[in-house]
């Protein structure tokens, strides 16, 4: 198959569609997994920062109970806290009680809003932590309500760096790349397997079909597979053999009657010679057929030939018990091969059908007088009898034949004998040697 044809083939379009679907599914799958894992990484990092905030709150509340100078130790807590960029203790109104790692001394409006939100959530949701996440900066701002002496409530503000996100993101990127490559490799392997399993056999079948269409019948397809393609290859081989046989039959068939020609006639007789049944070969031809062609034209002569074919076929169908082979050597010469028990009735039926129907090929005057006038080779008008059919019969019932040529020789002798008699007739060779 040419490449351009393959690019337009259903198989190629199927591979392209499969590849597009595979790539799309891989991309969608990778993106979904990546986003999900990234959310998990961020969530885990946030939970670790929340745990740090709760730990600092416990430490501050413990210090506030133990000493009045607890605000002086906020700087030390800040320095001990891991990944904490700043630590600030606010009053309920937003004033700064103490801080560590903080450069400004004023409370921003955003911080006031978050402090208020943290205190509100404390009242309604049992001291839950309020937070603000900065994904781009890998930071989370935590606002944790706490208590200090005289039942006062404050808010602890921590800015914690989500340092583990970058490391886990790098790991996630590697995993996503590996998974993507693995999925692509698997789909590529499946595509190649599908190519070997489906596309290649289909291409072989198309090539074989084109080869047979070009008139070359020696086609071989792999038949080792025990699946539908293996069955198809075996069926294709049988079909190729049958097509070749039909082609050979058609080549040897007579173009006018469509009956098997000389090659098939000889092949069939040789096959019968190799068997052990008694058979008869009936050589049929027309007497005075040339005169009919000369007086009525070749078109009417062809109609007469087709009429003879019909007589042979109809007689074989009506009389013979076993299948009868009918061939056409050419012109007005036909061959029938029958079982020995059927030959006589078959010959008589052929003559009956021929004599009954041949009158349709003549004028009433010619039928009434029993002859036609036609020129001979010298140009003189002479009388010619109406066309008759002569049947010379050769059989192995009385003697055996070792070669096809022997049958032809005996048939020629019998033809000469039977054509010497007037009208339609038959004769069988009964000689033993």
- Residue-wise pLDDT tens digits, 39-67: 666 666 667 777 777 888 888 888 888 88
pLDDT, residue 331, reads 92
Q: Could you check whether 3-166 and 255-428 share the same CATH topology?
A: no
Both structure tokens of 327: 């061939």
| Residue 108: strand, helix, or coil | coil
Spatial distance between the Cα atoms of 366 and 387, rounded to a whole number of angstroms = 11
46 alpha carbon, distance to own chain's centre:
55
Beta carbons of 88 and 99 less than 8 angstroms apart:
yes
Beta carbons of 329 and 305 less than 8 angstroms apart:
no
pLDDT, residue 249, reads 63
pLDDT higher than 50, residue 145: yes
Across the chain, mean pLDDT equals: 81
CATH of 255-428, one of 3.30.565.10, 3.30.360.10, 3.30.70.270, 1.20.1630.10: 3.30.70.270
Beta bridge partners of 375: 381
DSSP 216: -
Spatial distance between the Cα atoms of 433 and 418, rounded to a whole number of angstroms = 19
Find the distance separating the first CA and the last CA of the chain, reported in whole Å: 61
Spatial distance between the Cα atoms of 15 and 219, rounded to a whole number of angstroms = 27
pLDDT, residue 21, reads 77
Beta strands in 119-172 (DSSP E): 130-134, 139-148, 152-161
What number is the average pLDDT over the span 207-221? 69
The residue to which tokens 């800040």 are assigned: 78
Residue 110 or residue 174, greater confidence? 110
Q: What is the pTM of this model?
A: 0.50
Provide φ and ψ at 133, rounded to 5°. Answer: -105, 130
| Residue ranges of domains in the chain | 3-166, 255-428
The percentage of residues in the chain with a pLDDT greater than 90, rounded to a whole number, is: 28
Spatial distance between the Cα atoms of 329 and 256, rounded to a whole number of angstroms = 11
Query: Comparing C-alpha atoms, which of 152, 153, 151, 98 is closest to residue 122?
Result: 153
Query: Comparing C-alpha atoms, which of 285, 290, 287, 296 is closest to residue 376?
Result: 290
- CA 192 → CA 25, 245, 344, 349, distances in Å? 18, 38, 68, 67
pLDDT band at 386 (very low <50, low <70, confident <90, very high): very high
Both structure tokens of 411: 């048939």
4-8, 33-37, 191-195, 400-404: segment of lowest average pLDDT = 4-8
pLDDT higher than 90, residue 229: no
pLDDT, residue 104, reads 79
What's the angle, vertex CA 406, arms to CA 305 and CA 313, rounded to 5?
25
DSSP 227: S
CATH fold label, 3-166: Beta-Lactamase (3.30.450)
């Amino acid at each position: 198959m040419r490449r351009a044809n393959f690019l337009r083939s259903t198989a190629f379009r199927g591979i392209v569609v499969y590849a597009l679907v595979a790539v799309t599914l891989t991309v969608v799958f990778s993106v979904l997994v990546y986003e999900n894992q990234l959310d998990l990484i961020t969530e885990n990092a946030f939970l670790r920062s929340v745990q740090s905030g709760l730990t600092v709150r416990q430490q501050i509340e413990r210090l506030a109970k133990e000493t009045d100078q607890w605000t002086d130790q906020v700087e030390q807590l800040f320095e001990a806290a891991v990944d904490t960029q700043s630590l600030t203790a606010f009053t309920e109104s937003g004033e700064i009680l103490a801080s560590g790692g903080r450069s400004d001394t004023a409370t921003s409006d955003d911080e006031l809003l978050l402090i208020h939100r943290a205190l509100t959530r404390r009242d309604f949701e049992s001291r839950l932590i309020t937070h603000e996440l900065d994904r781009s900066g890998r930071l989370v701002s935590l606002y944790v309500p706490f208590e200090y002496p005289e039942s006062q409530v404050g808010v602890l503000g921590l800015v914690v760096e989500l340092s583990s996100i970058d490391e886990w993101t790098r790991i996630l990127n590697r995993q996503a790349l590996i998974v993507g490559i693995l999925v692509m490799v698997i789909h590529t392997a499946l595509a190649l397997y599908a190519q070997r399993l489906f596309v290649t056999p289909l291409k072989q079948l198309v090539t074989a079909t084109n080869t047979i269409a070009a008139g070359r019948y020696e086609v071989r397809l792999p038949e080792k597979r025990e699946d539908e393609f293996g069955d198809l290859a075996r069926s294709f081989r049988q079909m190729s053999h049958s097509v070749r046989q039909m082609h050979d039959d058609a080549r040897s068939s007579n173009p006018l009657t469509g009956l098997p020609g000389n090659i098939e006639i000889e092949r069939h007789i040789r096959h019968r010679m190799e068997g052990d049944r008694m058979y008869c070969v009936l050589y049929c031809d027309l007497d005075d057929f040339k005169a009919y062609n000369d007086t009525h034209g070749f078109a009417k002569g062809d109609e007469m030939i087709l009429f003879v074919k019909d007589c042979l076929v109809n007689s074989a169908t009506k009389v013979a018990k076993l299948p009868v082979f009918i061939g056409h050597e050419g012109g007005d010469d036909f061959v029938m091969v029958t079982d020995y028990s059927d030959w006589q009735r078959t010959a008589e039926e052929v003559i009956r059908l021929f004599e009954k129907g041949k009158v349709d090929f003549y004028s009433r005057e010619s039928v009434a007088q029993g002859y036609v006038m036609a020129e001979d080779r010298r140009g003189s008008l002479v009388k010619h009898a109406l066309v008759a059919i002569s049947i010379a019969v050769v059989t192995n019932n009385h003697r055996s034949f070792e070669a096809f040529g022997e049958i032809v020789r005996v048939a020629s002798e019998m033809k000469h004998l039977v054509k010497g008699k007037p009208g339609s007739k038959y004769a069988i060779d009964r000689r033993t040697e």
